[in-house]
A and B are shown apart, each in its own frame.
Chain A
């Protein structure tokens, strides 16, 4: 390819990237400035893209509101507990499927587990409500949400962990057996560290689902337990939406996933591409 062609393609790519950046970053920018504006400026017919006044009082309002803080805490409890359970059960099940359940039985079982992710969640929302309503702990509890999210996260975690375990060379485990490690010790010493980046990816995917889930949380819970996505609509009072508070609260709720992703990015990339290149 000639030098000028190369330059042209590079320029076009940069232009495309620029448009894409504006497209993705503008909503975020608008969220941030809205969260910093006073209500009067938000309610103008013509929105201001460069705010006249900036104030942090919206954030102060959020952190002073016990309801908002409790909803964030509820979200943390539900999402962390659910992620831990998904990861624990998914890792064990994935290992069993990858190593011990051989042949057609294993293939079919694995596919059946994944197929649980394929129905539209709305299809089971009413049955789920009645099911949890008939349980001793009821619908409006941490336990109900933690268990309910397993329905969605566990198949994904199991399937992904199975793929990661399949890609981990079996010979390394066998070498550990010959070193004198029992299968259980070999699993923790050799196999688990190999799939650790994969586990981080799975944990992130599960956690983000549980953190952001709105539909089921809204239907099942709302009084005793109220995760943050369920809390956001409460900033709408009759005909008026408190956009400044909605945006401030949403931004606060966005921070944990962003921070976690930045910290764990290294593992995420390695985990999701695990098995792409053998090495």
Chain B
């Protein structure tokens, strides 16, 4: 049994970083923590690992309170962002290290290391030293060192962030298929939202003081509980349009504070906004705006192209309408010249509405 529990964990240095953070990661669950850099993701991992002593609260591994247990008796394995491979040892000895700590006999060590190396496809590198292998191979070695330990909890700190795109995809796929990671509680930290959405059984978005929202990738992406979460997930990032509600008889209209963008509210949108007083921050994901050529969705005719980037798989169009700049996701085959007029269509049903003061999602 290895379920990870954090109860009201507090940790701070000159300012509080973790403020009464509580979290349960079930056995076999792959929990991803995503958040901007410097927010305390690594500190959280270090608290779980025991490299930092929490100021208050409890850390529990499978029912065993390890709050005051030093890292070498916790049975957690962690990969470091810097890999932290021992430079004076071969790849084999690096992977074997946790087994050496347990004074396992040579034959068993060899068997276990070879098994892990084969799994990670680094068996041909075992005699090399860390400085003689590539970044991706270093990462596999570091991962091998954690896998061989068969720990109660896996802690992975930005394991693939510093690798080039091709290897990153390959390792990402490998994380999906590693059964070892599927048997115990895993906490995976990243600042890359795509990595988080792709890997996490559940995702925790970290903001100041702790987890701002926890949920499945779908929940987090489609129903962010605050503008902070919405802003952090998605590339290109969400369009934020501060608006004011105006009621004219039975009609409900959103007008942008700057410029002259306006949307008439109907149906389900209306029920959300009906009770709202004051201003609203409207969040529109770039994929919910499209370049229209007729159709039934809410349309705006007077937009102008500001810039266009074709990014291979997608195109990113920046268009200006009524004094508001909007990012639009298009297909890469299209071509737009700056200044060119375009007609934009909006999937109003997909709009997100946030409290203009606190950034809370009004739907929640």
Interface residues of A (CB under 8 A from B): 169, 171-172, 174-183, 185-186, 189-190, 193-194, 279
Question: What secondary structure prevails in chain A residues at the interface with B?
Answer: helix
- Check if A178 sits within 8 Å of B78, measured CB to CB: yes
- Check if A171 sits within 8 Å of B84, measured CB to CB: yes
- Check if B101 sits within 8 Å of A185, measured CB to CB: yes
Contact (A180, B101) CB under 8 Å given A174-B71, A279-B131:
yes
Number of A-B contacts (CB under 8 A): 61
- Check if B70 sits within 8 Å of A171, measured CB to CB: no
- Check if B88 sits within 8 Å of A182, measured CB to CB: no
- Distance of A193 Cα from B85 Cα, bound (Å): 13
Closest 10 CB pairs of A and B: A180-B101, A175-B84, A177-B71, A171-B84, A179-B98, A179-B97, A193-B88, A177-B72, A181-B101, A179-B101
A-facing residues in B65-87 (Cβ within 8 Å): 70-73, 75-78, 80, 82, 84-87
CB contacts (< 8 Å) of A279 on chain B: these are 131
CB contacts (< 8 Å) of B131 on chain A: these are 279
CB contacts (< 8 Å) of B88 on chain A: these are 193-194
- Closest B residue to A181 by CB, please name it: B101
Q: How many interface residues does B have (CB within 8 Å)?
A: 26
Contact of A178 among B77, B87, B102 (CB under 8 A): B77
- Check if A169 sits within 8 Å of B82, measured CB to CB: yes
- Check if B80 sits within 8 Å of A176, measured CB to CB: no
8 residue pairs bridging A and B, Cβ less than 8 Å apart: A174-B80, A177-B51, A177-B72, A178-B78, A179-B97, A180-B75, A180-B98, A189-B100
CB contacts (< 8 Å) of B149 on chain A: these are 179-180
Contact (A171, B86) CB under 8 Å given A178-B71, A180-B102:
no
B352 smallest CB distance to A (angstroms): 40
A177-B50, A178-B76, A279-B131 given. 19 additional CB < 8 A pairs? A171-B80, A174-B51, A174-B71, A174-B80, A174-B84, A175-B85, A175-B86, A176-B97, A176-B101, A177-B71, A178-B51, A178-B78, A179-B145, A179-B149, A181-B101, A183-B72, A185-B101, A190-B86, A193-B88
- Distance of A185 Cα from B145 Cα, bound (Å): 18
CB contacts (< 8 Å) of B77 on chain A: these are 178
CB contacts (< 8 Å) of A171 on chain B: these are 80, 82, 84
Is B49 in contact with chain A by the CB < 8 A criterion? yes
CB contacts (< 8 Å) of A182 on chain B: these are 72
- Check if B72 sits within 8 Å of A180, measured CB to CB: yes
- Check if A194 sits within 8 Å of B87, measured CB to CB: yes
- Check if B101 sits within 8 Å of A172, measured CB to CB: no
- Distance of A176 Cα from B75 Cα, bound (Å): 12
CB contacts (< 8 Å) of B78 on chain A: these are 175, 178
- Distance of A268 Cα from B89 Cα, bound (Å): 21
CB contacts (< 8 Å) of A178 on chain B: these are 49, 51, 71-72, 76-78
- Distance of A185 Cα from B73 Cα, bound (Å): 13
A37 smallest CB distance to B (angstroms): 50
CB contacts (< 8 Å) of B73 on chain A: these are 180
A-facing residues in B164-219 (Cβ within 8 Å): none
A169, A181, A193, A194 — which one has the most chain B CB atoms within 10 A of its CB? Answer: A181
- Distance of A178 Cα from B88 Cα, bound (Å): 18
A276 smallest CB distance to B (angstroms): 16
- Closest B residue to A177 by CB, please name it: B71
- Closest A residue to B70 by CB, please name it: A177
- Distance of A279 Cα from B145 Cα, bound (Å): 21
B73 smallest CB distance to A (angstroms): 8
- Check if A169 sits within 8 Å of B84, measured CB to CB: yes
- Distance of A180 Cα from B76 Cα, bound (Å): 9
CB contacts (< 8 Å) of B98 on chain A: these are 179-180
- Distance of A180 Cα from B49 Cα, bound (Å): 11
B85 smallest CB distance to A (angstroms): 8
CB contacts (< 8 Å) of A186 on chain B: these are 72
A169, A180, A189 — which one has the most chain B CB atoms within 10 A of its CB? Answer: A180
- Closest A residue to B145 by CB, please name it: A179
